[in-house]
Amino acid sequence: MRKIVWLCMVLVFSPTSGLADQGYPYPQMQVIPSSQSFDKLVESLKTAIASHKMGLVTQACGSCGAKAQGYDIPGNFVAGVFRNDFARRLFAIHVPAGIEAPIRFYVTENADGTATLTYRLPSAIFAAYEVPALAPLGTELDEIFTAITKDAVK
């Protein structure tokens, strides 16, 4: 019985890889740990977005709002990223998919003081619409979002 309990404890508390289920219900979630602090990763992300000529269309900081109300929660930041030329192309292909723009990056603070960057591949977001003409747009955005991520977490 002790061996079974021990095995269950090991399985429950074992670290998971970046490709393992992270609790997100969508396919193609990219979960990238960094060695940066939360504040540094947020700033690095903003810089990378600008350097890849994308727009920071929306931003929300849950931990900032909580702090303003006297609560201390781990860092939590969402960046909505897109660009007008992509929006025009998206709307020309399939107007309903416009609800997906801007596409979000999510920065979360870890217990050890580092931060993680998470996003869903744009191609996976657009694939849900089953409109083949969206695929090239999604692939192009995948490349940009991957480049932004690499620059942000380096």
What ranges do the domains of the chain cover? 17-153
* Model confidence band, residue 22 (pLDDT cutoffs 50, 70, 90): low
Question: Which CATH class for the 17-153 domain?
Answer: alpha beta
Arithmetic mean of pLDDT, 55-67: 94
| Contact (Cβ atoms closer than 8 angstroms) between residue 48 and residue 145 | no
DSSP 3-state of 56: strand
Cα 99 from Cα 111, distance rounded (Å):
33
Report the predicted TM-score, pTM, of the whole model to 2 decimal places: 0.83
